[in-house]
């Protein structure tokens, strides 16, 4: 019988969840889903161009687990979902939850950049994308390749206080570990060790390295990538290269040379000041909830 995951990294986006997933994957007493983000829980979320896995498909992700103490996955949509916490609780009442939080302004700006790269967002101007959120909630101005609507509702992703409170209420504070991105970046090794202790596994283990993961990326040849996805081109490639494995190898190589690491241009001082003012009350609520002063996120 396939074992069920007993811990979940639930978000927030662009807050080092991928790094934590990679580091935990290396631990001999931890089994992480080979698909980082299965997006199984959160039936209130709006899925557009992808399908949620069935229960059998989801459980099959953990069929490779043997005697590991901790089994986990990391789906960043579970934090913003209003239903995911309760669904996880019903799935595994003893589950442990890991929440990673970043300055909401930096998170939103980084998420917008990621959404552009993955093509679920098609509005390059961040301020304009923010201004479209009300329309998008009504089903308007949604990019054709958007997969999960929440990915382009940046302010909702950043409303941390009610999201964290929901998990506290469902699981109890002792079963929820909140990691602040600033602390994680300041001392990755310590944050990792404390997470291992939280999960009840050997906390002396160290991963091979703490190299940066999921760095901001952009595309070198956008026109070529778009052209290669055209149905006529796809059919022609399949005809010329019948071997699926060979096609995948070539596609992977092309993707590698078509992607470059590129730092984002800084957010304009005017927009940053506007968002600082807008999120001050939210950050104050989160500070009170966590008994941790995070108001520097909204200071000049």
> Residue 175: what pLDDT?
98
Average pLDDT over residues 9-17: 97
**How far is it between the farthest Cα atoms of the chain?**
62
pLDDT of residue 261: 61
pLDDT attached to residue 231: 54
Q: Look at strands 7-9 and 70-74 and give their pairing.
A: parallel
Higher-confidence position of 91 and 243: 91
Rg of the chain over Cα atoms, rounded to whole angstroms, equals 20
Among 190, 14, 172, 166, residue whose Cα is nearest residue 96: 172
Per-residue pLDDT band at 256 (split at 50, 70, 90) = very low
- Which element (helix H / strand E) includes 169? helix 160-171
**Number of alpha carbons in the 13 Å side-chain half-sphere of residue 282:** 20
Tokens of 110: 């980084």
Segment (H or E) for 184: helix 181-186
pLDDT bin (cut points 50, 70, 90) of residue 243 is: low
CA angle 4, 8, 9 (to 5 degrees): 155
Cβ proximity of 20 and 100 under 8 Å? yes
Place of tokens 């579970």: 78
Instruction: Using the predicted structure, report yes or no on whether residue 209 has a pLDDT greater than 90.
Output: no
CA distance 197 to 30: 12
Q: Are 87 and 29 in contact (CB under 8 A)?
A: no
- Of 7-16, 113-122, 244-253, which gets the smallest average pLDDT? 244-253
Lowest pLDDT segment from 51-60, 149-158, 258-267:
258-267
pLDDT in tens, 261-291: 667 789 999 999 999 999 999 999 999 999 9
Give residue 177's pLDDT.
Answer: 98
Task: Look up residue 201 and give its DSSP letter.
Answer: S
Which helix (H) or strand (E) covers residue 164, if one does? helix 160-171
Tell me what the mean pLDDT of segment 9-15 comes to: 97
Give the H or E element holding residue 244: helix 244-258
Mean pLDDT computed over 63-77 = 97
pTM (2 d.p.): 0.85
Ordered DSSP codes for 56-120: HHHHHTTTT--S-SEEEEE-GGGTT-SSHHHHHHHH-TT-EEEEEE--HHHHHHHHHHHHHHHTS
What is the pLDDT at residue 252?
Answer: 47
Instruction: Dump pLDDT digits (tens) for 161-183.
Output: 999 999 999 999 999 999 999 99
Query: In whole numbers, what is the pLDDT of the chain averaged over residues?
Result: 89
Name the β-bridge partners of 180.
Answer: 101
Domains identified in the chain and CATH numbers? 7-110+149-214+287-298 (3.40.50.300), 217-261 (no CATH)
Alpha carbons 101 and 122: distance in angstroms, whole number: 26
Torsion of CA 63, 148, 164, 281, to 10 degrees: 160
Residue 42 CA: distances (Å) to CA of 52, 87, 112, 238: 10, 7, 22, 36
């Amino acid at each position: 019988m396939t074992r069920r995951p007993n811990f979940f990294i639930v978000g927030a986006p662009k807050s080092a969840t991928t790094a934590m997933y990679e580091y935990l994957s290396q631990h001999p007493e931890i089994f992480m889903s080979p698909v980082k983000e299965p997006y199984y829980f959160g039936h209130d979320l709006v899925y557009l161009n992808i399908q949620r896995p069935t229960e059998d498909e989801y459980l099959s992700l953990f069929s490779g687990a043997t005697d590991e103490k901790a089994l986990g996955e990391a789906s960043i949509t579970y934090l913003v979902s209003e239903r995911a916490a309760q669904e996880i609780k019903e799935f595994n009442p003893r589950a442990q939850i890991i929440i990673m939080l970043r300055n909401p302004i930096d998170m939103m700006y980084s998420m917008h950049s990621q959404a552009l790269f993955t093509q679920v967002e098609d509005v390059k101007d961040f301020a304009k994308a923010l201004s479209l959120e009300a329309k998008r909630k009504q089903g308007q101005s949604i990019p054709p390749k958007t997969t999960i609507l929440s990915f382009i509702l940046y302010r909702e992703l950043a409303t941390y206080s009610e999201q964290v409170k929901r998990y506290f209420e469902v699981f109890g504070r002792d079963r929820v570990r909140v990691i602040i991105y600033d602390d994680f970046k300041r001392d990755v090794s310590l944050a990792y060790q404390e997470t291992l202790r939280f999960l009840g596994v050997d906390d002396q283990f160290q991963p091979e390295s703490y190299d940066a993961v999921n760095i901001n990326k952009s595309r070198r040849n956008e026109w070529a990538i778009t052209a290669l996805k055209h149905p006529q081109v796809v059919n022609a490639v399949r005809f010329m290269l019948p071997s699926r494995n060979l096609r995948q190898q070539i596609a992977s190589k092309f993707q590698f040379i078509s992607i470059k690491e590129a730092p984002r241009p800084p957010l304009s001082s005017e927009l940053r000041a506007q968002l600082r003012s807008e999120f001050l009350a939210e950050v104050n609520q989160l500070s009170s909830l966590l008994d941790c002063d995070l108001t520097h996120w909204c200071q000049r």
